[in-house]
Structure 1
Amino acid sequence: MSRTIVVTGGTNGLGMALARHYAERGDQVVAVGSSEEGGRRLREVVPMAQFVQSDLSSLRQTRDLVERLSDEHPVVDALVLAAFRFNPVRVETDEGIEHTFALYVLNRWLMADGLRGSLESAAAPVIINLCGAGQGGRIRWDDLQLKDRYRAIAATMQGAKAGELLGAAYASERTKYVLYNPVFVATGLHEPFGQPLRALVRMASVVFAQPVAKAVPPIAALIDHPPAEALTAWKKGKIIDLAVDRNEARRFEEAIRPMAQSASS
């Protein structure tokens, strides 16, 4: 039976590989990307998938996207949150939100929360949040958008920790929430950097990164057979223990909710 799989960041890297995997199996795949160029690339590689263009760092566009997907797909079997961009320097969106925080945190919260009804209507719904689970990131409570001192690694690690908290805060009796850390995958990580660092990162990717094709099967296994537990964390296909403070998770959700809603209204 055909299922509906929604993949954000579905026009590049691991997201597109997952889109291709499920489209070739005959499932209905909705791949979301920010550019028409990405859409053309998707249509060349995965012509069976549906492309939806949306700037996922824009909270207004994310809200419009959620409304569209909810209307067009009243049943969503899996939501894969894969959109990410490494920002070497601090960048703000048109809505005045630090880009990493907007894309890696607020967008993922809005997508999961907004598609809750469609997910709950599926037989075995699951959310796959591709993130840096278990890497020891921390929340900068006094400066969530890193206005005072921006460091790209700090922004990325905070996003990874935020993913853990969002997973813990997502209360659902049916939809399973999976935090999945693919670690180092060859998905063009070098592209945001300037030379000579770009060349060095690209070389490291060639030597050390896991091929995309190898990273897909363990993630697909979790989509096809969601875990029994409400929240689980995985690293390269192996389950990991992850102690998340539920009070901290609720506190974080309460902190970002008004930020996301005011910027999206």
Structure 2
Amino acid sequence: MRRTIVITGGTSGIGMALARHHVGRGDLVVAVGSTEQGGRRLLERVPGARFVRADLASVRRTRDLARRLRDEFPVIDALVLGAFRYNTARAETEEGFERTFALYVLSRLLMAEGLREPLQGAPAPVIVNLCGVGGPRSAGIRWDDLQLTRGYRPFTATMQGARAVELLASVHDGGRTRYVLYNPGFVATGMHESFGQPVRGVVRAVSALFAQRVDDAVPPITALLDRPPAAPLTAYRGGRPFEPAVDRASALRMEAAVRAMVAAVPG
């Protein structure tokens, strides 16, 4: 049966590899990316995919995207949340949010909730959130400075985003939709492009030596898309399941903070 699969971050790395796999099986794949260049690259390498351009670091544009997809696709079988960028320096979106938090946390909440209705119409709906859960948590959550206005570090921003995603997933109301947190580990997805020289060369060399190939990282994810777990929420690190260490008070606190942020943006 042909399924409809939406992939954010679908124009490169794991997202593109997932698009290639599912288009090859005859599924309708809607790949979301932030640039026309990425869209052209996707369509050259994955003929048959659908490309939609959207800046998911924007709350307004993410809401608009969810509305467009709901209108066009009454049933969506799977949503893959993979849009991410490693920001080496702090930057703010036009709406005033720290960019890593906006893309990694706010957009994923809005997409999961915005597509709830079409997902509920599928026979076995699933959300797979590609994120860094289960990794080191030394950075923790800066509850008094979620936007990292003081002492920004890219690793801190990334780990805080991963932890926030984990907390929000634990209180997500997906109805019949299964929610999977998936940490693929160190994968050669081109992260070195975020850096300037000479760091870029070092990261590229380390990636070539130690990172998993994208094509090797994809099969465990496609298996979860094909056969969603029975539990409402599951988490995996490198293909192995683990139990997220989440306390409900922190999860509710994060949910309240994030909802206040998106509610402050009109539309």
Percent identity over paired residues: 62
Q: CA deviation at 1:247?
A: 2.4
TM-score by length of 2: 0.97
Q: Which moved more, 1:132-141 or 1:187-196?
A: 132-141
SS in 2 for 1:178: strand
Q: CA deviation at 1:207?
A: 0.4
Q: CA deviation at 1:262?
A: 2.1
Aligned residue number for residue 38 of structure 1: 38
Q: CA deviation at 1:172?
A: 2.8
For structure 1, the 5+ residue unaligned runs are: none
For structure 2, the 5+ residue unaligned runs are: none
SS in 2 for 1:47: coil
Aligned residue number for residue 2 of structure 1: 2
Aligned residue number for residue 98 of structure 1: 98
SS in 1 for 2:229: coil
- Paired with 2:179 and 2:16, the residues of 1 have a C-alpha distance of 21
State the AA in 1 paired with 2:193: E
**Superposed CA offset, 1:169-209 (max 9, x none):** 11233111100000100000100111111100000000000
Q: CA deviation at 1:147?
A: 0.4
- Paired with 1:192 and 1:173, the residues of 2 have a C-alpha distance of 37
- Paired with 1:145 and 1:180, the residues of 2 have a C-alpha distance of 24
**Superposed CA offset, 1:4-34 (max 9, x none):** 1000000011111101110110001000000
Aligned residue number for residue 54 of structure 2: 54
- Paired with 1:12 and 1:159, the residues of 2 have a C-alpha distance of 21
Q: How does 1:56-95 map to 2 (within 5 A)?
A: 56-95=56-95
Q: CA deviation at 1:246?
A: 2.1
Closer, same or farther: CA 90–216 of 1 in aligned 2, 3 Å: same
Aligned residue number for residue 157 of structure 1: 159
- Paired with 2:122 and 2:244, the residues of 1 have a C-alpha distance of 27
- Paired with 1:12 and 1:92, the residues of 2 have a C-alpha distance of 23
Of 236, 240, 243 in structure 2, the residue corresponding to residue 241 of structure 1 is: 243
- Paired with 1:246 and 1:77, the residues of 2 have a C-alpha distance of 29
RMSD, matched Cα: 0.9
CA contact (8 A) 1:55 1:61 kept: yes
Q: Extract structure 1 runs of 4+ deviating beyond 4 A.
A: none
Aligned length: 265
CA contact (8 A) 1:77 1:119 kept: yes
Q: CA deviation at 1:264?
A: 4.9
Closer, same or farther: CA 28–264 of 1 in aligned 2, 3 Å: farther
Q: CA deviation at 1:74?
A: 1.2
State the AA in 1 paired with 2:163: K
State the AA in 1 paired with 2:6: V
State the AA in 1 paired with 2:249: N
CA contact (8 A) 1:80 1:130 kept: yes
